[in-house]
């Protein structure tokens, strides 16, 4: 069963205030839209996620989702319904079995909500499914500051997203729908489809008002990860070495398949370690001719992208270069600045240190350079 999700993020979100539409506002350091997309991408049964945006917000979008595995976004329409329809039509070239339609503002949907939604399709009679919570507060009618009547809360549900449907059924229903329809359940019911109620979750609340951003931030929990990396390259003929992304004049070069930048290699391994994503050789095999003489900044940038694709935040990195010569001190600030630029983090989060081994061992004999690195990151957990 192929499942594709559409995230509707074309609205202007003025109710939440702020300088940018609310889907691009930060919660726990990341745009709301990024939280929403990363959560769906992380679900093992969801094969892909497409975002529908306002094309005027393209630059905000690109920045918000940088590094996430998303296809080209789709331009939305004048109403939510038209935006969803545009997303559905875009999937027609390679139609999924199930399509989920999700609001970017419900950025913190627990995986269990998605599991239950998908499980509902085990019933062949079901055309769609929607997470919902029972209405527990009493409902009353009122006008002009006075209550005027009661509403029976029995059989009333507060619907959430994502709402999931068999793709052909939802596409047909949307093509026939009124442009003002507010959600897929309404459209599906109007088309006579059968929609199952699955368990919702309070944590999948819609970020609507300004206060909701503080509530969302407080709910996001991160776990800290630290990992180390180590690398060695042997000296050979040459007149410079690459260390931490800086070309350092020297009376020897370093031998390696790439540019032999031991500092960046150790740091790349440390970052990969924080997400248990193997090592640099797995991602850039020395057997691959593409990496012959390659600049190592792309290895480090790739590792950083993988961390960010997991919703991770790079808190700090620390590299120690181990050699008698060349002297690292004169290049230390340039190295820090280069690493900060590659990782897209502040200079204060980057440390470069150097030591000798008192002329002992292979580094002491100036046969090569060793480097070790530590990286500390925060990865989002399922929200509290
Ligand atoms: Mg290496």
User: Count of CB atoms within 10 A of residue 23's CB?
Assistant: 31
Ligand 1 mean position, distance from CA 100 (Å): 43
Inter-axis angle of helices 332-343 and 297-309, to 10 degrees? 40
Ligand 1 mean position, distance from CA 178 (Å): 60
Asked if residue 208 has pLDDT above 60, the reply is yes
Ligand 1 mean position, distance from CA 252 (Å): 17
Ligand 1 mean position, distance from CA 254 (Å): 10
Answer whether 226's CB lies under 8 Å from 374's CB: yes
User: Count of CB atoms within 10 A of residue 333's CB?
Assistant: 12
Ligand 1 mean position, distance from CA 238 (Å): 17
Answer whether 298's CB lies under 8 Å from 370's CB: no
Coil, helix or strand for 212?
A: helix
pLDDT bin (cut points 50, 70, 90) of residue 209 is: confident
- Domains of the chain and any CATH numbers: 3-137+151-218 (3.90.550.10), 221-383 (3.30.1330.50)
Ligand 1 mean position, distance from CA 300 (Å): 12
Chain centroid to Cα 129, Å, comes to: 26
pLDDT bin (cut points 50, 70, 90) of residue 360 is: very high
Mean pLDDT score of the chain:
93
CA distance 252 to 237: 5
Answer whether 11's CB lies under 8 Å from 84's CB: no
Ligand 1 mean position, distance from CA 234 (Å): 10
**129 beta partners:** 164, 196
pLDDT bin (cut points 50, 70, 90) of residue 384 is: very low
Ligand 1 mean position, distance from CA 304 (Å): 17
Ligand 1 mean position, distance from CA 347 (Å): 24
CA distance 15 to 204: 19
CA distance 88 to 253: 56
Q: Which of 13, 18, 4 is nearest to 74 (CA)?
A: 4
Ligand 1 mean position, distance from CA 256 (Å): 7
Question: Residue 160 to residues 28, 204, 205, 294, 314: CA-CA distances in angstroms?
Answer: 22, 7, 8, 48, 32
Asked if residue 194 has pLDDT above 80, the reply is yes
Ligand 1 mean position, distance from CA 233 (Å): 6
């Amino acid at each position: 069963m192929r499942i594709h999700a559409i995230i509707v993020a074309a609205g202007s979100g003025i109710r939440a205030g702020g300088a940018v539409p609310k889907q691009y506002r930060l919660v726990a350091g990341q745009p709301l839209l990024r939280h929403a997309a990363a959560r769906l991408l992380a679900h093992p049964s969801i094969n892909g996620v497409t975002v529908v945006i306002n094309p005027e917000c393209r630059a905000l979008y690109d920045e918000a989702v940088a590094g996430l595995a998303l296809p080209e976004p789709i331009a939305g329409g004048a109403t939510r319904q038209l935006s969803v329809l545009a997303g559905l039509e875009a999937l027609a070239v390679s139609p999924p079995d199930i399509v989920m339609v999700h609001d970017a503002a419900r950025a913190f949907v627990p995986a269990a909500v998605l599991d239950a939604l998908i499980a509902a399709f085990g019933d062949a009679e079901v055309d769609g499914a929607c997470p919902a919570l029972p209405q527990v507060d009493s409902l009353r009618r009122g006008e002009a500051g006075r209550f005027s009547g009661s509403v029976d809360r029995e059989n009333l549900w507060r619907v959430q997203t994502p709402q999931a449907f068999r793709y052909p059924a939802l596409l047909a229903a949307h093509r026939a729908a009124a442009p003002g329809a507010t959600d897929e359940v309404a459209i599906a019911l109007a088309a006579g489809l059968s929609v199952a109620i699955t368990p919702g979750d309070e944590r999948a609340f819609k970020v609507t008002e300004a206060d909701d951003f503080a509530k969302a931030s407080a709910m996001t929990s991160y776990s800290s990860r630290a990992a180390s990396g180590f690398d060695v390259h042997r000296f050979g003929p040459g007149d410079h070495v690459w260390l931490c992304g800086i070309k350092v004049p020297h009376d020897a070069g370093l031998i390696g398949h790439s540019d032999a930048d031991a500092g960046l290699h150790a740091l790349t391994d440390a970052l990969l370690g924080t997400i248990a994503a193997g090592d640099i050789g797995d991602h850039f095999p020395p057997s691959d001719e593409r990496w012959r003489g390659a600049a190592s900044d792309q290895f480090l940038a790739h590792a950083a992208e993988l961390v960010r694709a997991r919703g991770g935040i790079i808190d700090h990195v620390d590299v120690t270069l181990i050699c008698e010569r060349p002297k690292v001190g004169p290049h230390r600030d340039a190295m820090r600045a280069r690493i900060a630029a590659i990782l897209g983090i502040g200079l204060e989060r980057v440390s470069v240190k150097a030591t000798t081994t008192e002329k002992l061992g292979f580094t002491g004999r100036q046969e090569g350079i060793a480097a070790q690195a530590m990286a500390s990151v925060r990865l989002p957990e399922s929200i509290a």
